[in-house]
Amino acid sequence: MSRVRAFGLFWWDFVVGDDWRSAAGILFAIGITAALVAAGVDAWWLMPPAVAGVLALSLRRASR
Amino acid sequence: MTAAFLIASAFLASAVEFVEALTIVLAAGITRGWRSSLAGLGAATLALAVIVAALGPTLTLIPIDALRLVVGALLLAFGLQWLRKAILRASGYKALHDEAEIFAREQAGARAAGSEQRAGLDWYGFTLSFKGVLLEGLEVAFIVITFGSAQGSIGLAALGAAVALVLVAIVGFTVRGPLTRVPENTLKFAVGVMLTTFGIFWSTEGAGAHWPGDDASLPAVLAFVILLSAGAVGTLRRRRLAFA
């Protein structure tokens, strides 16, 4: 394995870990928040329930 | 409030990582010799200092909203990993983190390894200690740099980490064994909650939204994450018992 690939895998595992769907869900929620802000909606209320949903789904997968 | 929260978060997160690093350094020192183990500790500390010194000032040049967006997203992804594991441990779906068991495993591995001398050091002891401290230390560096830069005060975050380092080093030197009495699972839970709280707060701000009352809403976000986590632990415990 090349050193670059190993370095990339280390950081992927470090930040994303074994549940990439959670990281993707977070990015999606942030994107929606930014889109709503761009449309003139101060969407500060979006991230807390989005995180709750991402966490619930992740726990459901892990506890099956 | 925010400054105290920042220092406390950096302190707790760093303390957890330093306890884990101490276990590895002790295992390497006791089985392979202190000289090699401490040389590994020193080399890793130096490498970490270079990383923090290079990255810290660079990050402060990035506009604060862009930085909070990236840092918030990273902390949320990173923090949710901690929180998920902590919830699974607290609800019985994952084995509790046991420092004594890890110490015994590291010692057994170190005893079984062959002997190779390089630069006058036992190479296994040196690399075991170096890798352990570097990997645990990278998490500390990541937290200090992201927390500090997003809040505009790397110094305060570094202060929290430094206090944790001194405390763990003193207790470790006194005990000369793995710090099994440190409530590590509880600490990890607290760190997961804090990382997730900061992640929610900064990613929202970075996306351009504004919290009502600005920084004053941070305790409300913290309360939300605590309630969410406690609810998740309760639900999973009931579910596990129902299927037992």
In terms of Cβ atoms closer than 10 Å to its own Cβ (0-12, 13-18, 19+), residue B54 is exposed
Q: What ipTM, to 2 d.p.?
A: 0.91
Work out the pLDDT band at B178, boundaries 50, 70, 90: low
DSSP of chain B = -HHHHHHHHHHHHHHHHHHHHHHHHHHHHHHH-HHHHHHHHHHHHHHHHHHHHHHHHHHTTS-HHHHHHHHHHHHHHHHHHHHHHHHHHHTTSSPPP-HHHHHHHHHHHHHHSPP-EETTEEHHHHHHHHHHHHHHHHHHHHHHHHHHHHTT-HHHHHHHHHHHHHHHHHHHHHH-S--TTS-HHHHHHHHHHHHHHHHHHHHHHHTT---TTGGGGHHHHHHHHHHHHHHHHHHHHHHHHHH-
Cβ B79 vs Cβ B195: under 8 Å: yes
pLDDT of residue B197: 92
**Domain locations in chain A as residue ranges:** 18-62
Distance between CA atoms of residues B130 and B125, nearest Å: 8
- Are A55 and B228 inside 8 Å of each other by CB? yes
What would the mean pLDDT of B210-230 be, rounded to a whole number?
92
Residue in B151, B187, B152 with CA at minimum distance from that of residue B168: B187
pLDDT of residue B114: 72
Averaged pLDDT of chain B: 84
pLDDT of residue A3: 75
Cβ B125 vs Cβ B110: under 8 Å: yes
Check residues B60 and B148 and name the one with the higher pLDDT: B148
Q: Can you tell me which residue has the tokens 């409530």? A: B183
Contacts with B204 from chain A: Cβ below 8 Å: 33, 43-44, 46-47
| Res. A55: pLDDT tops 90 | yes
**Domain locations in chain B as residue ranges:** 2-238
What would the mean pLDDT of B60-64 be, rounded to a whole number?
76
Give the model confidence (pLDDT) of B66-110 as tens digits. Answer: 888 888 888 898 889 889 999 999 888 887 777 777 777 877 777
Check residues A37 and B6 and name the one with the higher pLDDT: A37
pLDDT of residue B182: 66
Share of chain B above pLDDT 90, in %: 16
pLDDT of residue B55: 78
Work out the pLDDT band at A50, boundaries 50, 70, 90: very high
| Res. B223: pLDDT tops 90 | yes
- Are A59 and B221 inside 8 Å of each other by CB? no
Other C-beta atoms closer than 10 Å to the C-beta of B220 total 15
Contacts with A15 from chain B: Cβ below 8 Å: 74, 77-78
Q: Does B196 touch chain A (CB under 8 A)?
A: yes
- Are B208 and A48 inside 8 Å of each other by CB? no
- Are A33 and B204 inside 8 Å of each other by CB? yes
Partner residue opposite A33 with nearest CB, options B91, B138, B207: B207
Work out the pLDDT band at B221, boundaries 50, 70, 90: very high
| Res. B232: pLDDT tops 90 | yes
Nearest residue in A to B82, CA atom: A17
Cα distances from B152 to residues B121, B157, B158, B222, B224, in angstroms, run 42, 10, 12, 20, 24
| Res. B203: pLDDT tops 60 | yes
Tell me the pTM: 0.79
Sign of CA pseudo-dihedral B33, B34, B40, B41: positive
Give the model confidence (pLDDT) of B22-43 as tens digits. Answer: 888 888 888 878 888 889 888 9
Distance between CA atoms of residues B71 and A10, nearest Å: 18
Which helix (H) or strand (E) covers residue A55, if one does? helix A47-62
pLDDT of residue A58: 93
- Are B76 and A51 inside 8 Å of each other by CB? yes
Partner residue opposite B210 with nearest CB, options A15, A30, A44: A44
What would the mean pLDDT of B206-226 be, rounded to a whole number?
91
Distance between CA atoms of residues B124 and B31, nearest Å: 10
Least Cα separation, residue A17 to chain B (angstroms):
7
